[in-house]
Structure 1
């Protein structure tokens, strides 16, 4: 999909969208000129931005494997899921826990367009895709396909990977996440990654400015601010760390090469 004529109805291709930018960085084809132009602007400020996108995807896989393995979780709520692609929540759970139920949420209509094709090839009822707004957690959780697909009497794996930076402070992101966490039953786990200015303030400032020019919100946050999202949940080892340093298959040469904090926590009770 590379022009307006190829876009599903309801998609404004003149404005960049985070899901389609990630698709561009990951080498996908579900992106448009505005997505690529802003993606290139990000790359000018941070040449390793494609690597960072891949590292977030790898973290997602490791977090899901931990939740399904040690946590025994068999249902997942992925908010800000992005365009379906290799290494996403659907494909990882299909390998590590094929009996899982998965709800993927995004506010971009193109995600739904691709999801229809994906669901035709998937076991009936295992994964559903929902178009909803993270800024309205009550409506999101009450959505018929969310409430009907997940059993909130059993632990849920909540995934908030590279999405919270799209909320401004005035959007009350900590209250939004708290509302989601409050709705999760004991034994649930949450995985969060978030871009930060802690590792390279100058480069991140350039990216924030580029995002503003492209009509996109991007709010990097400090480690303390990211840690606050987990509330009183129990952080799993090694805590809130550079995303490349969270239980990697092999120790990275420089875990701060991706400018993201990441962590996983468990709800006690």
Structure 2
């Protein structure tokens, strides 16, 4: 039996993996995030920029972990409480423990997940993202949030997800990579408009209003590495949800969104806003 046939029998959607230029000579947000999470899929420029960020915000590794924990809590909530069985994870990042399909399929093994990222190294690891349960299905799209229409029209998405049924859209620590002049709100709205009633969107975003001085310094450091980084206020983050119904507790610090166990002593210790909303 061929490897491709075995994938299809296990509920996987295979996409040909072509040679890619990993551009390991420049820092990339996904690889920096991997470095902060303690991963090994990063390179000297990623670590150098990650350390520069850490000099300005000493707790940034903790913040990266809290973003990852939010993703797990949000996906588990959407699967268990909202009954969602389809997920679109944009800005996937490098595979690590607690990937969206692992959380969703632990709650409901028939869950289907499409991952989207524009980092070539994530493409190189795509098979790890497609290790689906036999009852579910997963796919990976190498694409950019700057072109949401292409994501929605991609055959890997249309084969895997039924957009006439509710979808859980996750945009975790990704929207800050789009500058205001490139209209990130409009690009997100294209995605929201394409989803059926009952769909939900989960977002985290670095907040400019937690520690403005530190955030200004991080933005300056990112610019030196030719990276776009745009922290935003709580009100600006709320705009991403459009007219969808914000679920309790609303847009709050990422540590404070439905925490497991006791509430954190200082929810504002991680400089990220977070929230989940439902399409009526």
Helix, strand or coil at the partner of 2:77:
helix
Q: Counterpart of 2:8?
A: none
Q: Counterpart of 1:213?
A: 224
* Aligned mates of 1:31, 1:122 — CA distance in 2: 28
Helix, strand or coil at the partner of 1:64:
helix
Distance change in 2, residues 1:84/1:122 (3 Å): farther
Helix, strand or coil at the partner of 1:78:
strand
1:58 aligns with 2:65: no
1:258 aligns with 2:277: no
RMSD: 1.4
1:12 aligns with 2:52: no
Deviations, residues 67-124 of structure 1 (Å, cap 9, x unaligned) = 1011100000000010011022122123222210000100011111112245367648
Q: Is the contact made by 2:109 and 2:133 (CA closer than 8 Å) also made in structure 1?
A: no
Q: Counterpart of 1:94?
A: 105
Alignment partner of 2:186 out of 175, 180, 196: 175
Deviation at 1:19, TM superposition (A): 0.7
* Aligned mates of 1:23, 1:183 — CA distance in 2: 31
Q: Counterpart of 1:32?
A: 43
Alignment partner of 1:22 out of 33, 37, 40: 33
* Aligned mates of 1:118, 1:178 — CA distance in 2: 26
Q: Counterpart of 2:93?
A: 82
**Would you identify which runs of 4 or more consecutive aligned residues in structure 1 move more than 3 Å?**
117-125
* Aligned mates of 1:69, 1:121 — CA distance in 2: 18
The TM-score, its normalising length taken from structure 2, stands at: 0.90
* Aligned mates of 2:154, 2:135 — CA distance in 1: 19
* Aligned mates of 1:144, 1:82 — CA distance in 2: 21
Deviation at 1:13, TM superposition (A): 0.7
Flag structure 1 segments of 5+ consecutive residues without an equivalent.
Answer: 1-7
Deviations, residues 137-189 of structure 1 (Å, cap 9, x unaligned) = 11111011012210011100000000000000111101001110000000000
* Aligned mates of 1:202, 1:117 — CA distance in 2: 39
Alignment partner of 1:244 out of 247, 255, 259: 255
Give the total of aligned pairs.
261
Q: Which range is displaced more, 121-130 or 48-57? A: 121-130
Q: Which range is displaced more, 151-160 or 123-132? A: 123-132
* Aligned mates of 1:89, 1:118 — CA distance in 2: 9
Helix, strand or coil at the partner of 2:185:
helix
Helix, strand or coil at the partner of 2:219:
helix
Alignment partner of 1:192 out of 193, 203, 209: 203
Deviation at 1:59, TM superposition (A): 0.6
